[in-house]
Amino acid sequence: MNDTQWPLWEVFVQGNPGIPHKHVGSVHAPDAEIAIQNARDVYTRRSEGISIWVVPSNAISASTPEDQGAFFEPSNDKPYRHPTFYKIPDGVKYL
């Protein structure tokens, strides 16, 4: 059998209750269970987390840096999406 050193998984850790999981790196593991155990040992040795997600690396699709401009720029010319776009007279409260 070819010594593959196991497939790659991306690791996401939630640092504290109520905040989102954040990508911290990757681990090699034969399955999800061991990926979670390895991720615990590699990325949370000093109580950096209360929850871990692992995802097979090849299951992640990402936007491409080359298209960054064309992809994200359309929102730049829509300032009316921000509350600061609107002028409200000084006397008006709670708006």
Footprint of another protein (CB under 8 A): 1, 3-6, 8, 25-28, 30-31, 34, 41-43, 45-46, 62, 64-66
Distance between CA atoms of residues 11 and 21, nearest Å: 9
Q: What is the torsion angle, in degrees rounded to the nearest 10, for the CA atoms of residue 82, residue 83, residue 86 and residue 88?
A: -170
Nearer to another protein, 16 or 63 (CB): 63
Least separation in angstroms between residue 31's CB and another protein is 4
Distance between CA atoms of residues 51 and 41, nearest Å: 13
Nearer to another protein, 62 or 92 (CB): 62
Distance between CA atoms of residues 27 and 55, nearest Å: 10
Least separation in angstroms between residue 89's CB and another protein is 41
Nearer to another protein, 47 or 84 (CB): 47
